[in-house]
Amino acid sequence: MSSTDFLDNIDSQLDWQRGLYKDFHRQPELGLQEHKTSERIESELKDLGLESKHVSKTGLVTVIENGQGPTVLARADIDALPVSEDTGLDYSSTIDGVMHACGHDMHITALLGAVRLLNENLDAWSGTYIALFQPSEEDAAGAKAMLNDGLTSKIPKPDVAYAQHVMPLPTGTVNTKAGPVLSAGDSVKITVHGRGAHGSMPHLSVDPVVLAATIVLRLQTIVSREVEPGEFAVVTVGASNSGSKSNIIPDRAELLLNLRTYDMGVRDRIIASIERIVKAECQAAGSQKEPSFEYYDQFPLTDNDEDANEAVTKAFEDYFDDGVVQPANPATASEDFSEIPDAFEIPYAYWMIGSSDADKYKKAAEAGTVNTDIPANHSPQFAPVIDPTLEIATKAQVVAALSQLGS
Amino acid sequence: MSSTDFLDNIDSQLDWQRGLYKDFHRQPELGLQEHKTSERIESELKDLGLESKHVSKTGLVTVIENGQGPTVLARADIDALPVSEDTGLDYSSTIDGVMHACGHDMHITALLGAVRLLNENLDAWSGTYIALFQPSEEDAAGAKAMLNDGLTSKIPKPDVAYAQHVMPLPTGTVNTKAGPVLSAGDSVKITVHGRGAHGSMPHLSVDPVVLAATIVLRLQTIVSREVEPGEFAVVTVGASNSGSKSNIIPDRAELLLNLRTYDMGVRDRIIASIERIVKAECQAAGSQKEPSFEYYDQFPLTDNDEDANEAVTKAFEDYFDDGVVQPANPATASEDFSEIPDAFEIPYAYWMIGSSDADKYKKAAEAGTVNTDIPANHSPQFAPVIDPTLEIATKAQVVAALSQLGS
Amino acid sequence: MSSTDFLDNIDSQLDWQRGLYKDFHRQPELGLQEHKTSERIESELKDLGLESKHVSKTGLVTVIENGQGPTVLARADIDALPVSEDTGLDYSSTIDGVMHACGHDMHITALLGAVRLLNENLDAWSGTYIALFQPSEEDAAGAKAMLNDGLTSKIPKPDVAYAQHVMPLPTGTVNTKAGPVLSAGDSVKITVHGRGAHGSMPHLSVDPVVLAATIVLRLQTIVSREVEPGEFAVVTVGASNSGSKSNIIPDRAELLLNLRTYDMGVRDRIIASIERIVKAECQAAGSQKEPSFEYYDQFPLTDNDEDANEAVTKAFEDYFDDGVVQPANPATASEDFSEIPDAFEIPYAYWMIGSSDADKYKKAAEAGTVNTDIPANHSPQFAPVIDPTLEIATKAQVVAALSQLGS
Amino acid sequence: MSSTDFLDNIDSQLDWQRGLYKDFHRQPELGLQEHKTSERIESELKDLGLESKHVSKTGLVTVIENGQGPTVLARADIDALPVSEDTGLDYSSTIDGVMHACGHDMHITALLGAVRLLNENLDAWSGTYIALFQPSEEDAAGAKAMLNDGLTSKIPKPDVAYAQHVMPLPTGTVNTKAGPVLSAGDSVKITVHGRGAHGSMPHLSVDPVVLAATIVLRLQTIVSREVEPGEFAVVTVGASNSGSKSNIIPDRAELLLNLRTYDMGVRDRIIASIERIVKAECQAAGSQKEPSFEYYDQFPLTDNDEDANEAVTKAFEDYFDDGVVQPANPATASEDFSEIPDAFEIPYAYWMIGSSDADKYKKAAEAGTVNTDIPANHSPQFAPVIDPTLEIATKAQVVAALSQLGS
């Protein structure tokens, strides 16, 4: 039989995968706390006859050694988000305020499905396949955690690494691109200081609520006025919090910012502008204490290797029907996946799986309302269509692996 | 002996009062949760040989019937605030995030001291003295709670009611004023709706953080442009909260506003302006869902009875040394105290006790820096100077009572 | 005949006054350029048989010496404003962009009418009457100009000085108040510097249009947050101008501010806050050049002498029908009139003449829409109702004079 | 002799060109008023023995018919800007408030130099050369004016059209690019309505200065939040003007906006957002009159023909030294040049000439301070380095022409 024929067997395991997906979706866990998720993955692998080992507390790796040949690493991220689900699905999150709003449950399930297909069809390929389940992608802590726990010495060195991500694109598509596909990301927590007072005595206060508002608006001018038009740059204030009672003027405000760039010079200038603006607005407010800046969740650029991307793209085009494989646009999101191949000094490819209802997407595209009608990752309404997203994502992992390991 | 001579006995009980004050300060409790505070008051009264009864869960009343004469009610509020103490005092709050930042601990201790002095000197006066310990003044819920629990039928009808409050004025002063002394207050919780998205995809969002910032700034123009100059009006945004992670654009923001006015027409126009501004800013943002407005913590005007105020002012002037009694400025704060005399349809007087270090205050006044150098009520640094504040406040309650009950 | 009976003669001269008023209204002239206005006044006085002399280029004084008795000075201001009239009146301004939008035409006409009445009834009074027509009140330059031109040595020293002003109050009223009636006023021209660039290259600019906008909004917080609630304070940005073409980012912006206060300490703190805010916003913008602050048009407080005010109030009450004389509220406007009595070191009284349609005012007052339905001074729709405003204003000047000069 | 050898003759005419350039620079004229400029060009052409004809009042065309061969049109724009020169040059503008701040004086002078070279070396080429001097490029009125005056019927139909522009790039470079090089541009004049009042009576006004400020800041969020990151879009408020006196709150504000986009869908969404924001901010302000939107100066996309661009690029590379020809980045500016070839339905190429001091540019580039240290077009400091900018620009026009007309 030719190397991909066994993929037809997927029909017999899709029900198992659908159930798994819904279970993971019901039990989302925040980054570095994916204990039940990790246990379930371990247990499923065991059922398939595969040993796995923990690398970091909630990270997991299984290695299928299947004779001569290259070594391929495939990675799925497993953490969820502090979002309150609002999809109305019957398999909605059972955990208050936590949701798989970025589709990592789909990534886990697809990778488990790929592992099963490869493990049950060992004669169709040869080499080594490593399935890696990574915690805490959302805050760029998980790849680091696994590397800090000795990942590079605990598994064979791969020749190439793969990862995939569901996106608000039509289900039934796989989207690839050489070069930069995901931006660099930086987060910063800014604390500004006012002077607390009774709510009825504003003249005794330095109002941090007003101060935070002026900062939020001034920060908009970095992208609108300071960055060269057409240059990719995002400055998001994801959280602005100050005070807890109407009648107490608080004494501080906290802002959480997220930056995305494709150019490190642009990134550095944006950071300088943020600090300049925040410090000056504190002076405008008459703040008596310097603001503080705490940088965290710093994500690398995801920059697909030309050859690795070309190899998987060709394999996808050979296997999938016409129209499935699409050129991807660079996405505004960030990922810590690349830290793993970078630690091994190996090439990598990262592609995107469409997961939105294809008809709705088409209508929205025609109406020019994709942005408003198609819920995006991190939205409380983000809900990948299970079929055929799950099947395509599972097959994509296998097809990519076979591009290296197939006979 | 003349009617106020026994006040000299206060020396023998001041150590007890200082200890009590520090104990209350160490154990602050939020509104309607003042269980330990209420128990301690009850126990202290018992030690003095006085019965007390609960009116509402944490409200307490004790009545001293001492022959013929008028009935005087004196009220102390007993709740604390969700403020993290930052005074550095050795008797600082032991409860994380809760603090007696408005001096109610001083009010309790002074009233307990007055009760002891009056109770131990029954021959110096005649009539009935009611000491009322009221919960939850800060959110205008406590007076209502006691009235709802039948206060007017559970105690004798008073002829007059008194209350006092520590203020960032020089310790050693008692400050009185006829007519309006405290403003009407209204709180409103505003929820505005955006559209959540991944922090890197602002074009898929309607950003509620930016929306809240535009609202906070636009609201400033109500006082700066819409209210007639010189008219008393405060519009404070005490809390503005949106989002919890840097890389998730949230789908809503919540604002807590507090208004203070001395004129109901002004109040109504301000409320109309708030709603107009919030609705329009939501439209400017492209928000797809109407904002909501929830009104709460609505405080009455505190408007001292001319005669009641004149009587206590004269008594204070007769008893205290020159310079102690000062004319009060109307304060920007609000109180629910007046709901109690209003329910009985009786006159009332409300005065202010200076509690800031007198020398520091004088220097700050000369330097024009009172507002920045003297911590005000609700500030994490608010710390009444115990001496002579406690003594003056205790004596003020007794002197006021004696103005009606003295022989 | 009793001293005010001759006021009935006003009927015979009202048509002349109405024509004069409309002529002045059609020919408004800006401050220090009131050449035609000044000539017309001179010519009307000549027709009455009175000599007048110029003090400053466009200021004019006439003195009626009529025997023994005190000396009274009455002053009318004569300048117009750079406002484009939008009243639809058939006697609208014929000068593009210039309008008597503050009623000084009414002040001139009333004073000329009072002069005629007094001059034609010399037997009804004795003493000296000085009618002073002052230029350039709007920018506080006219009183200074007359004083600089030697006013105090060119006319007899008065015993008291009077001035009046039309206001958006019901016609048929005269409104008086002891003590402060008009605020102190200060203007400041602020220039902030950006960096010009082509409109399509914002990243090469420091955008002064955005900078000016942040300053305008931040300045609102002085009144809304920094001034004690209830304290009178106005910070108006009357003009904000930057740029002239859509596709050129300009290199500077100019703001013209006007402040009003009743307390010099408040005034000084506001000025400090303005400078703090502007400098800090320039830093937030990345401006490379310090902003400049140029103070001008600085108006004194108008603070009516207790006795002088009481005397005119009593005379008004004696003469006018019930309901005509009303207590005035302190007004937010400023005046340079007081510089003249201050130069002579004499007391003064300044009162207000209602000039709005009485029925409309009443309806608006009942509906609470005075502020939106009754055009105020400086509005393009400001249009005093001629009758009875003109008659009342004329008689008020005579009655005030007779309170000192009447037999 | 080979076809470009005669370019060495440029040495003998460069002094004449330098003098011409300085003369044009001293005498800038605004769009459609370029009378003296047009006369001078006509007179210089006459001195070269060439007739020219006016097409539109200030547009000029000269045609050199030189035997068989293709027809090439080269265009220079001739208008200046309302900018006050601040270069300190000894040949600075002598016209107050008007400046050649976009280098059109260099374009004229280079094209005149190219005409002279071609006209004096007729044996080096054959075909037809059309030099077109276009008025009023800055407001997109000049190309239209020439077309409206019958340009297409007044000159031979060209086979290709060329234009060039100086840019803040290192002098000594010519920069080319296929496809889109300049954005589409749209201007819009927005008038918003407040309610005028005396500056001391903000409560009687609807303040348009504050309204304009909120609009300017809200507009920033279109690019920062609504446009997809990385998509080219500029929303510049080039002018914001309201009021003229500090103590009059004006009744309207006027904003002049300029938009730049490379995608018509993005352009349409931005225009919709602008109108949504302005209308909603007017509501937030309580404005009683709808804002007005007036669109003007609408520039087409400049989209270089692939073949035409390749031909000139190759010719430049063949003629100039290594390093002179550089790939251009798409620029954020707009041009109306393309309306001329579009009217003839012919291909065109548009390239950029570096005009900044090369050493300064290099240092600034290394320090990452190009944007702040190198004055850009439309800046009061914009000053092309004459040598070798003028020589390179002249030769570029000749070399481009010879790519079609050379033997």
Tens of pLDDT, residue by residue over C121-164, are 999 999 999 999 999 999 899 999 999 999 999 999 999 999 99
Q: Does D83 touch chain C (CB under 8 A)?
A: yes
pLDDT of residue A302: 94
Backbone angles phi, psi at C326, to 5 degrees: -125, 155
pLDDT of residue D309: 97
CA distances from B395 to B47, B356, B406, D265 (A): 21, 18, 14, 77
CB within 8 Å: B217 and D214:
yes
| Residues of chain B found within 8 Å of residue A257, distances taken between Cβ atoms | 246
pLDDT of residue D7: 94
Q: What is the pLDDT of residues D120-158, one digit of tens each?
A: 999 999 999 999 999 999 989 999 999 999 999 999 999
Nearest to D305 by CA among D117, D146, D110, D160: D160
Amino acid code (one letter) for B54: H
Q: Does B200 touch chain D (CB under 8 A)?
A: yes
CA distance D79 to D215: 32
Domain boundaries in chain B? 5-183+301-405, 184-299
CB within 8 Å: C216 and D213:
yes
Q: What integer is the mean pLDDT of A177-182?
A: 92
Class of domain D184-299: alpha beta
- C-alpha B180 chain-centroid distance: 15
CA distances from C179 to B228, C229, D273 (A): 20, 22, 52
Find, in chain D, the residue whose alpha carbon is nearest to that of B209. Answer: D225
Find, in chain C, the residue whose alpha carbon is nearest to that of D380. Answer: C196
3-state secondary structure of B314: helix
- Contacts of residue C360, defined as CB under 8 A and 6 or more positions apart, other chains included, come to C373, C374
CB within 8 Å: A232 and D230:
yes
- Is pLDDT of D60 > 90? yes
| Residues of chain D found within 8 Å of residue C204, distances taken between Cβ atoms | 168, 371, 376, 379
Report which secondary-structure segment, H or E, holds D239: strand D233-242
CA distance D301 to C331: 57
Which one of C378, C381, C382 makes the best mutation probe of the D interface by having the most chain D beta carbons within 10 Å? C378
CB within 8 Å: B242 and A241:
yes
CB within 8 Å: B214 and A213:
yes
What distance in Å separates residue D296's CA from the closest CA in chain C? Answer: 10
Q: What is the pLDDT of residues A125-146, one digit of tens each?
A: 999 999 999 999 998 999 999 9
What distance in Å separates residue A229's CA from the closest CA in chain D? Answer: 5
At D327, the pLDDT band (50, 70, 90 cuts) reads very high
| Residues of chain A found within 8 Å of residue B288, distances taken between Cβ atoms | 372
Q: What integer is the mean pLDDT of C155-175?
A: 97
- Flag whether C203 is marked binding: no
From the list A216, A248, A331, the residue facing B213 with the nearest CB is A216
3-state secondary structure of A287: coil
Strand partners, D60: D54, D133
- Is pLDDT of C334 > 90? no
Tokens for C163, please give them: 């001035």
Q: Does A378 touch chain C (CB under 8 A)?
A: no
Q: What integer is the mean pLDDT of B176-202?
A: 94
CA distance D187 to D138: 11
| Residues of chain D found within 8 Å of residue B221, distances taken between Cβ atoms | 207, 210
3-state secondary structure of D201: coil
CB within 8 Å: B379 and A197:
yes
CB within 8 Å: B220 and C222:
no
At D101, the pLDDT band (50, 70, 90 cuts) reads very high
- Contacts of residue B387, defined as CB under 8 A and 6 or more positions apart, other chains included, come to B171
Q: What is the pLDDT of residues B324-335, one digit of tens each?
A: 999 998 877 889
Q: What integer is the mean pLDDT of B13-36?
A: 97
What distance in Å separates residue B20's CA from the closest CA in chain C? Answer: 35
CB within 8 Å: A280 and C277:
no
At D368, the pLDDT band (50, 70, 90 cuts) reads confident
What distance in Å separates residue C42's CA from the closest CA in chain D? Answer: 29
CB within 8 Å: A269 and D230:
no
Nearest to B400 by CA among B72, B177, B134: B72
Nearest to A382 by CA among A126, A93, A183: A93
Q: Does D288 touch chain A (CB under 8 A)?
A: no
Size of interface A-D (CB pairs under 8 A): 47
Size of interface A-C (CB pairs under 8 A): 66
| Residues of chain A found within 8 Å of residue D232, distances taken between Cβ atoms | 229-230
What distance in Å separates residue A281's CA from the closest CA in chain C? Answer: 7
CA distance D228 to C221: 34
Contact predicate D29/D79, CB 8 Å: yes
- Contacts of residue B106, defined as CB under 8 A and 6 or more positions apart, other chains included, come to B21, B166, B353, B355, B384, B389, B390, B393
Q: Does B301 touch chain A (CB under 8 A)?
A: no
Tokens for A236, please give them: 């998001």
From the list D210, D218, D273, the residue facing B214 with the nearest CB is D218
| Residues of chain C found within 8 Å of residue B183, distances taken between Cβ atoms | 229
Of all residues in chain B, the percent with pLDDT exceeding 90 is 89
Helix ranges, C28-100 (H): 35-47
Q: Does B228 touch chain D (CB under 8 A)?
A: yes
Tokens for A363, please give them: 């209508």
At D1, the pLDDT band (50, 70, 90 cuts) reads very low
CA distances from C254 to A373, C43, C75, C212, D56 (A): 44, 42, 35, 8, 38
Q: What integer is the mean pLDDT of A215-221?
A: 98
Q: What is the pLDDT of residues B61-113, one digit of tens each?
A: 999 999 999 999 999 999 999 999 999 999 999 999 999 999 999 999 999 99
| Residues of chain D found within 8 Å of residue B286, distances taken between Cβ atoms | 226, 273, 276
Of all residues in chain D, the percent with pLDDT exceeding 90 is 90
DSSP state, residue C157: P
- Flag whether C282 is marked binding: no
At C1, the pLDDT band (50, 70, 90 cuts) reads very low
pTM of the model: 0.77
3-state secondary structure of D23: helix
Place domain A5-183+301-405 in its CATH homologous superfamily.
Zn peptidases (3.40.630.10)
Q: Does B230 touch chain C (CB under 8 A)?
A: yes
Q: Please, what is the Cα angle at D307 between D305 and D312, to 5 degrees?
A: 95
Q: What is the pLDDT of residues B129-160, one digit of tens each?
A: 999 999 999 989 999 999 999 999 999 999 99
Q: b/e string for A361-397 if b means 16 or more Cβ within 10 A?
A: beebeeeeebbeebbbbbbbbbbbbbebbbbbbbbbb
Which one of C200, C234, C298, C381 makes the best mutation probe of the D interface by having the most chain D beta carbons within 10 Å? C200
Find, in chain C, the residue whose alpha carbon is nearest to that of D252. Answer: C239
CB within 8 Å: A224 and D229:
no
CB within 8 Å: A224 and D224:
yes
Q: Does C198 touch chain A (CB under 8 A)?
A: no
What distance in Å separates residue C262's CA from the closest CA in chain B? Answer: 9
| Residues of chain D found within 8 Å of residue B196, distances taken between Cβ atoms | none
From the list D220, D265, D368, the residue facing A368 with the nearest CB is D265
CB within 8 Å: B210 and A216:
yes
CA distance B402 to B127: 10
pLDDT of residue B166: 97
- Is pLDDT of B2 > 60? no
Q: Does C87 touch chain D (CB under 8 A)?
A: no
Question: Can you say whether residue C345 is alpha, beta or left, with left for phi > 0 and alpha for psi between -120 and 50 degrees?
Answer: left
At A124, the pLDDT band (50, 70, 90 cuts) reads very high
Q: Does A202 touch chain C (CB under 8 A)?
A: yes
CA distance B215 to B237: 10
pLDDT of residue B243: 97
At A1, the pLDDT band (50, 70, 90 cuts) reads very low
Question: In this prediction, does ipTM exceed 0.90?
Answer: no
Which one of C224, C225, C262, C273 makes the best mutation probe of the B interface by having the most chain B beta carbons within 10 Å? C224
From the list B203, B229, B284, the residue facing D227 with the nearest CB is B203
CA distance B249 to A214: 18
pLDDT of residue D367: 87
| Residues of chain B found within 8 Å of residue A331, distances taken between Cβ atoms | 200
Find, in chain D, the residue whose alpha carbon is nearest to that of B249. Answer: D225
Q: Does D276 touch chain B (CB under 8 A)?
A: yes
CB within 8 Å: B376 and A212:
no
